[in-house]
Structure 1
Amino acid sequence: MKSSHSISFRIFARWAEFSYQNAIWIILLVLLLTSLSTVYTVNNLGVHTDTTDMLSEDVPFRANHIRYKKSFSQYEDTFLLVLDAPTPEQAHQAAKRFTNYLQKDSTQFSNTYYLTGEPFFEQNGLFFKNLSELGRITDYLAAAQPLVARIAESPTLYTFSSVLTEAVDELRAGRQLELEPVFNGVSATLNARLAGKSRALSWQALLGGEAQKETYQELIIVQPKLDYSQIFAAEEPINAIRIAAQDMGFTPNAVEKLRITGEVALAHDELLSAMHGAQDAGILALVLVALVLLIAFRSAGAIVTVILSLIIGLLLTAAFATAAVGHLNLISIAFAVLYIGLGVDYAIHFLLRHEELRKPDQSVSEALYKAGGDMGQALLICAITTAIGFYAFMPTTYEGVAELGLISGTGMLISFLITMTLIPALQRCFPTHVRKSSTSIQSINSVLDLPRHARKLVYGVTIIAILASVLALPHIKFDYNLLNLNNPHAESVQTFQELLRNTEDSPWHINILVSNIQETGHIVQRLRALPEVEKVISMLDLVPQEQEAKSLLIEEMAMTLGPISFSSTAFLIPDHHTVPEQRMALEKLNTALDRFIGEKPGHPSEASARALRASLSNLLAELDKRTMQNDQGGEQLLRAANHDLLSLLPGSIKRLQLALAAQPFTQEALPASVSSHWHTSDDVYRIAVYPSENINDNDALRRFVHAVQKIAPTATGVPVISLEAGEAVVDAFIHAFSLALLGVIITLWMMLRSVSATVLVLIPLLLAALFTGACTVLLGLPFNFANIIALPLLLGIGIDSSLHMVHRSRSTGAVYENLLHTSTARAIFYSALTTLVGFGSLVFSTHQGTASMGLLLTVGLFLTLVCVLIILPVLLHSAGEKKESIV
């Protein structure tokens, strides 16, 4: 053992000395290699932002998804545009106009679909309602027909008020009329106008016997042309949509509003928030890391040495990634985080040991010789064990993690080479000066020395913490919800969560592919019986049932409505009634309502009549006020009210007349623009399954997916992918950590040649892992697709830190107090603190995944420090005492 140690000492000592003696040539060579690597990386390294492609195609759910993408490619990589408007008419017209505009832009968009705006559904929409709905519409249409016919002859506020007054008188006379929706609709429209807003009266809702809602939505599916050679592949299509929306007046303050969400928009906003969060955190981290390094070294030269070695090592690792993999993905890009977090350890350990060995009467070369000999073996073991830990991720089916393991593992070896070669060479330019024990060193020593006299307390607290952590382990969770990674304030996220709450049309639904129409019917029937399923849509639903009975009701509606038509210039001609005449008509309506309320207490329409009377009273008061202030003020108010109440009527009647001309149809009559969304040319049928719960909740997601998979194991879609990908990630990390732990144990035993030393190195690592898992439960911090990347970093730091302590104890025979007062303990403290402040700043990121990773790193690093600097020294001291007693 001694001979072997002596040989290794001389090899690393001479290596460091050689680097110092040939500093100029080595620095030039490294800079040249780094420059060439940087140019090569910039010109050849790609970035893949498609998270689905990070999983191996051999995984079953990936194969199902690939088949779905090939069959129904129009639903892959899409935006979901949400158009909001106060009425269904306005939402429909806005969606049609915007769809037509986007369909003409072939440079940015491959396909644009407004499915409910398809001419087929506009023509045959009534057939998709059930018989009871059609019956209700028939009754309301019969009651509204006289009102509509009179207004068609003279579309004015005067006529509208007069006809409504007559209807109220009919109610007073005892006639059964359903006027409650009319009263409420008119009241809401007038109240909005008096508040200075425009809220048109929806005649589509009135004729259908529905109460007008506050807002209506239409959805447009847009498939953009993405440029994956750019980091923000969707930036140009998003800008094109924003500009088009601005040109059409779809702004946040307008009547119609456009919001962008969907798969592509969510991915874009996630990447944007992650990069902005990393940028902001990076600035804070740079300041804090520089401050820690300044406290540790009190030397600007040492700080420059550490930063230069990190930057050069990072660039060389990026060049390796370019050559070995060719691209980065959203997981493997974390190699930079891992490299900085671990690479800084090597530099700090080497420089602090060099500083500790440097004597006033000793040359830099002699001190480097000893530092290289002392640190070379420890750093090599750290590099190899950490690299093995990362390489263990390579056999997993999660290719994103496998690529991360390959790049980061090699990065650790590169960091070792840089530390042993470049740092000694940089001592020519930035020599470490002899420094006496400073206040900071004494403060650190005093802190590290605290547990020395309380070993029983340390053991007791550790045992209690272990027991509590073991009880908490079963409650560790993994968050499968990709939305929870994103910025919660992003428009795409808020809009998508809003859509998810409406389970009937949830954008997160499951898709099932079947090979024939008979199988479709069988699976649909079984799925509809599930309590986890809200509704199921398939090709079968495009041909409604009971068409003959529905056709009779539609014909009855057509006869009831009659040949009503509106002149194209009807609303362009000013109302020929004077302001006093219109005011009188409103007064008569108000009086009729007052009498009805007095004569018919308890009538079903009483509450809505009271609301309309209050609105009319306010309108009349405002009309008098404006008329007194300005001769044109009253006229402008009445004109605006007239527009709000009647402007949508012609379009609603025209759409209704189109629907009333519908005839029964068969599956063969379906247009390709409709059937292609459910049936392909090679006889693949799609079934869409919608959840009965909001699957934004992980438990609801799991129930929904598992219930559907029991009937259709080949089901795919975002719910399936999220759940299966999460489970694949968890399995990949468990598999990788098992391999990593086995590889580390074997490597440590081979290099340390001691079972006890190997066990002592592993104990802090395992304890830190156990305590960190328990803290995730305590803090309500589940693992997710982002923060799970912190685990390899914690693994590497845990191995390195405990290995340095054990190696120093074995190589020098340092006892407890002397061990904690060495540069090794200070290096562990400062390197962990550097990583802690560097990556702890990620907690403030707007990207929730990044923030959770920062929090997990902060907790994990703190616990690692506790295990290495408090528990491990006590164990080493106890082991030393036991050895002495045996001797």
Structure 2
Amino acid sequence: MKQIFNWVLTHPKTVVLMLLLTTALAASQMRNLHIETDMDAMLPKHSDAYVNKQVLEERFGSTDLVIVGIINDKKDGIYNTHSLAIIQELTNWMEEQPLFRTLALNDLLSLDTIKDIRGSEAGLDVEQFMDGLPDNQEQIDHIKQRMHAFGVYEDVIVSADGSGTIVAVKPMPNSRSHYAEIYDLVKGKVAEIEARGGSERFFISGRPVIEGVFGAYMPAEMKRMQPIVMALLLLLLYLSFRTPRGVLLPIVVVLMAEIWTLGTMAALGAPIYTITTMLPILILAIGIADAVHFLSRERLLAHHRAYAHRKERMVEVMHELWKPMLMTTVTTGAGFLSMLASDLLPIQDFGMYATIGIVYALLITMLLLPAALMILPEKVKHAERKPLFSGYVEWLGGAVLKHPKRILSFFAILLVISSIGLMRLDVNASLVDQFKPGDPLRQADKLLNEHFSGTTSLDVMIDTGRENGLLEPVFLQHLIDLQEEIEKDPMVGDTGSISEFLQTMNQALHADDPAWHRVPESSDMAAQYLLLYSFSGAPDDFETFITGDYRHAHVRINMKTDETKVVTALLERMQIKTDLWFPADQGFKVEWAGTGFTVSRLSEMIIHGQVASLATSIIAIFLLCWWMFKRLLIAAIAMVPVTLAVTVNYGMMGNVGIPLDIATALTGAMALGIGVDFAIHYLHRYHEESEAGNSYEACVINTNRSVGHAILFNSFVVIGGFLVLLTAALYPQMKLGALIAATMVVCYLATCYLFPVLLGMGKKKIKV
């Protein structure tokens, strides 16, 4: 390695030029980066949630709707000319927008489009509830009375008390990349209506809106948080080194590593997901550690004037640090690469590109810093300055040696409290809960769920196995049975199927006698009803519930929450019923889809991926430490800080009530990967002190003097960098920032306080 080091130090300008050209090449690729907010795109393509969603959209169209809720708290609610005029205006406006699909009835649902079904001498009369704007109160009251009598759309389109209504529209199938634009478009129209005055309140929600807001927040958050973290790093570097080169060189290292990483992502066509927006922050916070260790060691040698010539000093620093820096990079990479064990694509990408970024940071550190220091003129007065917090670092060694029992007691209590929290840990992959409790979108979703049947879709697709199979009375009745069973769940607002409409037609064709509100008595009768309806209505009004060959049926479920435990409990309960009413041995096939089902599957994958990644990273890091230190006992001790930190992390989540989700699931492997750096640097230096024949006490004090400052600074940077995420607009980033910061505090305390106590246990002190 010394030959490589000598070449770098002999050709510093060439090295810097090569690094700058590579950075320019990576930067040129960044224009190809794109953002992915589609939750289905995060799933593996073989997942039943992904496959079933594609089948659902192919057979019945998308069930993802942009929802505009209109609430009027006055006496008549929305049943007044002003509110009804707004509904009509908003409906007409949506029909004109190219980003919306409005061909069929279920593409655009509002009081101005939905249809009433009544019997007549000619058969069935199908007409819109609101055929033009009503002229007087009598016409308005008639609409209200028919809406209540029809029942199918009550609490779905109009609330039961008449205080609110929704206008819901499907985006065009190819408009997913325009969801943020759609949200801005609808928000602009609503603002225009609100500016005219009135007692109506407006709320916008729906899965396309949620994904659109994510798409708007993500790039904005990346741009906003980057300078904050940069300012924090500049401040910490200045306080630590108090020299221009000590501040600027580490910053250049991590900025280059960041550009290289994003350029690599762009070149490979990798999208930016919600969690991968944190990669730049991660690289800034973690990638700077090697630069800090390098400059700290170089300054310490310069301070003691250990070498007469700068080149000799640089060679010694590079020779001394390349192994521990390589090992920390490898172990950190092992922690992040363990995320490849997850089935979720965002977590896989996060782990892979975080590892690439950390490797880039090491490579740039070992090339740029020695080359730059060789080019820059050496200033002796800078080398003579003592590091910041030197007093604390000196005190630390003595404090650990004086109070080992207190330190052990503290960590034992922390472990017990965390173990209790582990038993309370829950999982929740809710989309809405990814926004802060006070976020306008989350508040809108909450209010719409209170007034209407729910904004979360859950879908059941049933293949009867034969043409015209869904027209059979037994099957139609079992659809009703399934709906009634589902609606027993308090978190289900409403369900819909073809059976509901056939019941209504049956009653309408029997003089509106409630006794006939049941499914038709034969398949032929059901087919005739649908034919009669098509004469007055439109043939495609029911395309969201049935296929043209009457083989496949769809039951729509509106839920008032997308919380994992609620959806999963419903799915488990309904599995028993669907096996009973639609048995596979009779040719039936039942498939679930929709946002609720995707959330449930995401949670399962989060749990499986978390267990797999933690197990993989623990084994990999342990084996690497064993290989590095050649002793099982030392490898086990090296794992103590990170294992303790992970336990405390998940225990804290359980105690505070923070569930595992797609962001917080990252914390375990991240803590293992980042935190083990502290242990390796500490043990590597302790090993050298031990090899020099020093006593246990001298080893502890000298190790603190040598690496204590760098570990402390690294802790400040990582903790501060992730605490910046507390200012994020997205809740996952906030939670991840707080958890990683807290975990790194535990890692630091365990490394610098618990480590030396463990190494000093027993009659014979442990040799590393």
Per the normalisation by structure 2, the TM-score is 0.82
User: Unaligned regions of 5+ residues in structure 1, if any?
Assistant: 1-10, 128-151, 161-181, 183-199, 555-663
Give the corresponding residue for 2:739: 856
Q: Which among 236, 241, 252 is matched to residue 186 of structure 2? A: 241
CA contact (8 A) 1:509 1:688 kept: yes
Q: 344, 348, 373: which one pairs with 2:319?
A: 373
The aligned residue for residue 217 of structure 1 is: 165
Alignment of 1:520-559 (within 5 A): 521-529=477-485, 531-532=488-489, 535-545=494-504, 547=506, 552=511
Residues of 2 paired with 1:310 and 1:126: CA distance?
A: 76
| Cα 1:323–1:269 shift into 2, 3 Å | closer
Q: Which moved more, 1:416-425 or 1:738-747?
A: 738-747
* Equivalence for 2:29: 40
Match of 2:152 in 1: none
State the distance in 2 between where 1:435 and 1:460 align. Answer: 40
1:400 Cα offset (Å): 1.7
Q: What CA distance in whole angstroms lies between the structure 1 residues aligned with 2:162 and 2:508?
A: 33
2: CA distance, partners of 1:873 / 1:806:
10
Q: Does 1:88 align with 2:88?
A: no
- The answer to whether the 8 Å contact 2:66/2:207 transfers is yes
Equivalent-residue separation in structure 2 for 1:766 and 1:212 (angstroms): 54
Contact 2:56/2:62 (CA < 8 Å) preserved in 1?
A: no
Is the 8 Å Cα contact of residues 5 and 318 (structure 2) preserved in structure 1?
yes
Alignment of 1:341-740 (within 5 A): 341-358=285-302, 359-360=304-305, 362-430=308-376, 431=378, 433-437=382-386, 440-447=389-396, 449-502=398-451, 505-516=453-464, 517=470, 518=472, 519=475, 521-529=477-485, 531-532=488-489, 535-545=494-504, 547=506, 552=511, 666-668=529-531, 669-670=533-534, 671-681=538-548, 683-691=551-559, 694-695=560-561, 698-712=564-578, 714-740=591-617
Tell me, in whole angstroms, the C-alpha distance in 2 between the residues paired with 1:548 and 1:327: 53
The one-letter amino acid paired with 1:765 is V
Instruction: Find the aligned partners of 2:216 and 2:277 in 1 and give their Cα distance.
Output: 14
Partners in 2 of 1:677 and 1:367 — Cα distance? 74
Deviation by residue 1:839-872 (Cα, 9 ceiling, x = unmatched): 1121132322221112112211111111111111
C-alpha distance in 2 between matches for 1:252 and 1:881: 83
* CA deviation profile, 1:623-674 (whole Å, cap 9, x unmatched): xxxxxxxxxxxxxxxxxxxxxxxxxxxxxxxxxxxxxxxxx98122242342
- 1:790 is matched with which residue? 667
The answer as to whether partners of 2:180 and 2:209 remain within 8 angstroms in 1 is no
- In the alignment, the residues of structure 1 paired with residue 119 and residue 86 of structure 2 have an alpha-carbon distance, to the nearest angstrom, of 19
Q: Structure 2 matches for 1:309-324, cutoff 5 A?
A: 309-324=253-268
1:429-467, Cα deviation, whole Å (9 max, x unpaired): 555731343563123432464232001111222223323
- Is the 1:17–1:424 contact (alpha carbons within 8 Å) kept by the matching residues of 2? no
Call closer, same or farther: CA 1:876–1:241 in 2, change over 3 Å: same
Structure 1 residues 111 and 837, CA gap change in structure 2 (3 angstroms): farther
- Tell me: CA distance 1:822–1:72, structure 2 relative to 1, closer, same or farther (3 Å): farther
> By how many angstroms is 1:513 displaced?
0.7
Q: Give the number of equivalent residue pairs.
A: 689
| 8 Å Cα contact 2:35-2:215 kept in structure 1 | no
Structure 1 residue 495: Cα displacement:
1.8
1:736: Cα distance to partner?
A: 1.6
CA gap 1:323/1:438 in 2 versus in 1, 3 angstroms: closer
Q: Max radius of gyration: which structure?
A: 1
Where 2:58 maps in the other structure, the secondary structure is: helix
Report what 2:519 is aligned to.
Answer: none
Determine the C-alpha separation between the residues in 1 that align with 2:711 and 2:404. 21
Q: 1:350 to 1:252 in 2, by over 3 A?
A: farther
Judge conservation of contact 2:495–2:555 (CA < 8 Å) in 1: yes
* Larger mean Cα displacement after TM superposition, 260-269 or 64-73: 64-73
Residues 700 and 306 (structure 1), Cα distance of their counterparts in 2 relative to 1, 3 Å cut:
same
Q: What residue in structure 2 maps to residue 805 of structure 1? A: 682
Q: Which SS does the other structure have where 2:666 is aligned?
A: helix
1:265 to 186, 206, 209: 209
The residue type paired with residue 740 of structure 2 is L
- C-alpha spacing 1:109/1:294, structure 2 compared with 1 (3 Å): farther
Checking the alignment, whether the CA contact within 8 Å between 1:798 and 1:864 is kept in structure 2 is yes
CA–CA distance in structure 2, aligned partners of residues 520 and 741 of structure 1:
54
Q: CA deviation at 1:534?
A: 5.6
Distance in 1, matches of 2:681 and 2:748, equals: 13
Deviation (angstroms), 1:26: 0.6
Identity %: 15
Given that 2:66 and 2:208 are in contact with CA atoms closer than 8 Å, whether structure 1 keeps it comes out as yes
Q: Offset at 1:252? A: 8.1
**Comparing 799-808 and 732-741, the one that deviates more:** 732-741
Asked if the contact 1:510–1:689 (Cα under 8 Å) also holds between the matched residues in 2, the reply is yes
Q: CA deviation at 1:335?
A: 2.7
Of residues 340, 349, 362, the one that matches 2:284 is 340
2:586 paired residue number: none
2:279 aligned with 1:330, yes or no?
Answer: no
CA contact (8 A) 1:64 1:714 kept: yes
Give SS of 1:782's match.
coil
Question: In 2, distance between residues paired with 1:254 and 1:498?
Answer: 19
- Check if 1:97 corresponds to 2:45: no
- Describe the SS at the equivalent of 1:781: coil
| CA spacing shift, 1:212–1:15, aligned 2, 3 Å | closer
1:781 aligns with 2:664: no
Counterpart code for 2:530? Q
Query: Does the 8 Å CA contact 1:26/1:422 hold for their aligned counterparts?
Result: yes
Distance 1:859 1:271, change over 3 A: farther
AA at the equivalent of 2:529: T
On the 8 A contact 2:182/2:212 being kept in 1, the answer is no
Identify if the C-alpha distance between structure 1 residues 395 and 858 changes in structure 2 by more than 3 Å, giving closer, same or farther.
Answer: closer
Rounded to whole Å, the distance in 1 between the matches of 2:709 and 2:120 is 78
Code of the aligned partner of 1:679:
I
Q: Which gives a bigger RCO, structure 1 or 2 (Cα 8 Å, sep 6+)? A: 1
User: Would the aligned equivalents of 1:81 and 1:260 in 2 still touch at CA under 8 Å?
Assistant: yes
Per the alignment, do residues 863 and 124 of structure 1 end up closer, same or farther by CA in structure 2, a change over 3 Å counting? farther
Equivalent-residue separation in structure 2 for 1:205 and 1:526 (angstroms): 29
Q: Residue 392 of structure 1 contacts residue 740 of structure 1 at CA under 8 Å; is this kept in 2?
A: yes
SS of the residue aligned with 2:343?
A: coil
Distance in 1 between residues matched to 2:49 and 2:143, nearest whole Å: 44
Bigger helix fraction: 1
Is the CA contact (8 Å cut-off) linking 2:759 and 2:765 kept in structure 1? no
Using the TM superposition, name which of 304-313 and 717-726 deviates more: 717-726
Structure 2 match to 1:836:
719
Query: What SS does the aligned partner of 1:83 have?
Result: strand
The answer to whether the Cα contact below 8 Å between 2:66 and 2:209 also exists between their aligned partners in 1 is yes
Following superposition, the deviation at residue 514 of structure 1 comes to 1.2
Uncovered stretches (5+) of structure 2, i.e. residues with no partner: 122-134, 150-158, 465-469, 514-526, 579-589
**Bigger mean CA deviation after superposition, 870-879 or 833-842:** 870-879
How does the TM-score come out when normalised to structure 1? Answer: 0.71
**CA spacing shift, 1:711–1:18, aligned 2, 3 Å:** farther
Question: Using the alignment, how far apart are the partners of 2:670 and 2:341 within structure 1?
Answer: 19
Letter in 2 for 1:707: R
Preserved CA contact (<8 Å) 1:288 1:838: yes
Task: Quote how far apart the aligned CAs of 1:524 are.
Answer: 3.8
CA contact (8 A) 1:65 1:717 kept: yes
1:715–1:732 distance in 2 versus 1, CA, 3 Å: same
CA contact (8 A) 2:760 2:766 kept: no
